[in-house]
A and B are shown apart, each in its own frame.
Chain A
Amino acid sequence: MTSDTLVARRRPTLTEHRAVLLACGIVYLAVALWFWHNQVIPSDSTSRLANAYYTLFSRDPHLAAVGFVWNPLPSLILLPFLPLKVLLPALTQQSLLAPLVSAAFMTATVGVVHDLLRRMTLTRTPRLILTAAFALNPMTVLYAGNGMSEACFLLFLLLATRALYQWLTVRKVESLVPAGLAIALAYGARYEALAPVVALPVVVALVTWRLGGTGSRAALARVDAVIAGLPGVLAVVLWAVASKIIVNQWFATFSSEYGNSAQVSSGSTGISSVTGDDLGGRLAYWSQQWLGLAPLLLVLLVLAAILAWRARNPGILAPVTILGSVLAFDALAFLTGMSFGWLRFQITLIPLGVLLAGHVLATWRPLGTARVAVTLTLALLAIPSTLYTLTQPELAREESEYVTAAGSARRSDLARVDARVAADLDAMNLPDGAVLADAAVAYGVILASDHPHGFVTTPDRDFPGAVTDPRGHNIRYLLLSADAPTDAVRTGRYGPDAASVPVTGVRTWSDAYGNLQWTLIAA
């Protein structure tokens, strides 16, 4: 083959790739702007943006202000863009930056899925249909535009999947490097990546041991496992050590009063009222979510596994190892009562289904039109089924907050209240460090404020002292949330009982339904 024909063959897929990226970029940008315009950006997105914001613009700017409860990458990645707030204040004050960045991440994720399907040697039509099955799935579209860390997480998981696929099919050891690095970065985004941090080196070792050539296969397997696993292990260890040094907790996600475990236990009555208290109830709930997002995944999995076995094609191990291990981790966490069971914890089902379908098409021989049609249908059925699931407030407890009218009204109202509090405090022309507030609950207020230096917040190094002795730290006011169980400022003054919060003060703010949200009291 001459280089001319190589170029000629490359060009269509390259333009196709660019077209896919462009189309997704535009759609996701529109979705991001919709979330921003309607002010229904989820509080987790705002809070991660705020974590980045504190490191540069709080009263006590330092990198550790990014916090250790949530893995830092989704916040750190925002840092270079934060100074742009000078040009466009909405980036931070209305959290616009978060959805813009998640849209970019999800666009890149679609690019990786498309490229992986190309590497699976799919022809153009099924390749584009399957890319669309991922890109246009309502879960993908929602999480492209809402600024959550899922898009970032998915990107790194799929980069790892692609690299592992490359390694499994071409067996060049260099491919293990990007796989390992991507998993390390995925752990930077979400702690569920602990599962592939373990699964990746284990699978790599087993494959090398099973398929390795001559010589010491066990020793080769060990080296390959280290190449694939070291970056991830290092990411876990480093983050733990940094947490231990700075906030004296190895895994703040699990042990902090703001962390996941604390939230699960403080909200456990709420969770179990929906999901059921026993294992059976949880299992039923979890299966409903699973079937809702990927109704025929098991069929695809069995089919793909049989075909892979027949074709002796180990590529299927890539999506199953990376995406499957994340699913397994979340399932285990939920079934043992250690997680919320949010629908988004199952978002990896979407790319997994698409890639399994891709693998079926890559290995099913002879591949007639009927077989192509059946496979694509199996994959595409996830779209209507997901759409239905998202409108079920019981199954999609978070998502229904912005896809249903009532939910989005509630959400945007809270954003408005935060902005109102910020504007009122700004109007008081207080000196720096006059208002004490817990960043874990007041992030929306601090972000919306024109005068972020006015707040003494959790990441500030003098915060603990200010909570015990506000006046000694020149605090004039305490901003108290009405009922957030983790508000250290309020519990520091009034104890854990939400009922003891004063309903009058220097000022109070309520939402549109008349519920008290914030109270400002004199120090």
Chain B
Amino acid sequence: MQAFDGELGVAVARAQEGDEAAFAVAYRLVQPGLLGYLRGIVGDDAEDVASDAWLEIARDLGRFKGDGAGFRGWTATIARHRALDHLRRQKVRPRATALENDLLELPGVHDTHDQALESLSTTQALALVARLPRDQAEAVLLRVVVGLDGPAAARVLGKRPGAVRTATHRGLKRLAQLLRTEGVTEDGARTLGESG
């Protein structure tokens, strides 16, 4: 499904044999998607959760069976478990607290589409995603950021493919709506950005 699933599959197979360089390749291919997904769930602690996840991934690498796309789904599942554990430990710390300040910097309405997206930081973008309901946020992140297909995303989330499809659709629609409405902010916000 993704551009480098073939390379990823080869790298994983070699890493299972003990090839360290192959493991590094697999890491680079997978980590960005995992990080983006984790940011949407746990926010700022994404790197810590990702580290925990990679510990488990490295430890259980021998158990994995599958191709590159399967590896993405497998690692996403592990990452999700770690994220849920993290959330439980944190006792429902609100994801968006550290991120809300950045919402003031959202671009104004007369920015073009691309300009608006450019001036958005990752954190701001994820702040928008954080405002989705959790199941929609997860579905959207898994489908778009991690790059899983429908059945794989359903398996990671433990839901039926139809439910995941619905959640993805609704999440994207709501995200688009948020983008449109959040674009209408005070000009002062843009000034801040320009002067920064």
Question: Is this pair of chains taken from one and the same complex?
Answer: no
